[in-house]
Amino acid sequence: MPTIEPPALSPTLALAFELIRRPSVTPDDLGCQDLMIERLEALGFRIERLPFGDVENFWATRGHHGPLLAFAGHTDVVPSGPHTHWDFPPFEPCIDESGMLRGRGAADMKGSLAAMVIAVERFVTAHPDHHGRIGFLITSDEEGPAIDGTRAVVEHLRETHDRLDYCIVGEPSSTDRLGDVIKNGRRGSLGGVLRVRGIQGHVAYPHLARNPVHQALPALDALAREHWDAGNAFFPATSFQISNIRSGTGATNVIPGDVEVVFNLRFSTEVTHEQLMQRTEALLDAHGLDYHLDWTLNGEPFLTAEGELVEAAVSGVEDALGHRPALSTAGGTSDGRFIATLGSQVVELGPSNATIHQVNERVRATDLDDLSRVYQAILARLFVNGTARP
């Protein structure tokens, strides 16, 4: 497939190319953050490098007074898989004949990072004495365990009492066209690993054994049928989903001694994770199971239903692109779940999510230039037109 090599890339695309060329698979950063830091320092940002474990992070701020708007994102990407499966090498960015920028991270989310930096460069050049403060919270641990990345930086900010009023996370939020969807919240995620114990035995002598699979099935059916809540105007009803079931020795004539069930609850603001845990365990107890259950809270639900940031984001899309975005809380989790615990208003706004984590990840090249204009318009709405409140 032939490619188009433009004679001169736009500033946003040039930076996106530089970032994509670095195969920064989680938790490696491979100099992506150095590229961003160099440009931010030239604008007068104060940089605080915050490495935790094997993860590179940084927190950058500009300005001294007023509310703070932070751009948040990640330099790490998911593995590409075999390069032979790609039409183009995943870490050799190019723009194809249809105008698509191809490469791992083009959409998730090095394209957004480039758009953020260029937007801030242009805004600061035009408004060097702008009202308010601008920040960057960047990690290389979003696609992995997400322990030593944004979560750790947020705890650092909490300890230092650094204020973070507004946050734009550059996750790919768009569906059919750039800016058609802004994520203003996310559901909570509660994971469970259930182990039901039985008694192993020969399938021909079931009276001498106790089959944990047979015992667990009615309880699992009850959990799948449970009405946890009805959701609300912003969130769908809580859902229970089984992702894995493991049991047996591999032999066809052995009743297993235990069964392991991995499940997840995606929940709304109508119920707490403690309530979900209690209700689940009560239902398992009612079925008389001999079980052990390990819980993992991946994130609480968060919501920015209204406020200055939502107003500025919606207006910024309208100003730059000419259409009004919809607000949504659909999809998985993001690092916004950690930032929201600071009491910040949080939205997610980025390019199309159609090919994220896929072979041949790509995004329309012009969308990144347009996204940079959207980010700049939001900055203007908050810090020039007086939307932000001190």
Comparing C-alpha atoms, which of 142, 110, 58, 205 is closest to residue 337? 142
Cβ-based neighbour number of residue 117 at 10 Å? 24
Classify 61 in phi/psi space as left (phi over 0), alpha (psi -120 to 50) or beta: beta
Asked if 180 is an active-site residue, the reply is no
Torsion angle defined by CA atoms of residues 366, 369, 371 and 372, in that order, rounded to the nearest 10 degrees: 180
User: d(Cα 173, Cα 358) in Å, to the nearest integer?
Assistant: 16
Tell me: is residue 143 an annotated ligand-binding position: yes
Enumerate the β-bridge partners of residue 183: 328, 348
Tell me: is residue 300 an annotated ligand-binding position: no
Tell me: is residue 127 an annotated ligand-binding position: no
**Alpha helix ranges (H) inside 43-199:** 110-126, 150-160
Tell me: is residue 5 an annotated ligand-binding position: no
> Cβ distance 51 to 118 under 8 Å?
no
Comparing C-alpha atoms, which of 268, 262, 242 is closest to residue 188? 268
- Which one of 76, 165, 361, 369 is the catalytic residue? 76
Asked if 97 is an active-site residue, the reply is no
- Which one of 56, 121, 141, 142 is the catalytic residue? 142
Enumerate the β-bridge partners of residue 292: 195
Tell me: is residue 202 an annotated ligand-binding position: no
Q: Which residue numbers belong to the known binding site for Zn(2+)?
A: 74, 108, 143, 171, 357
Residues known to be catalytic:
76, 142
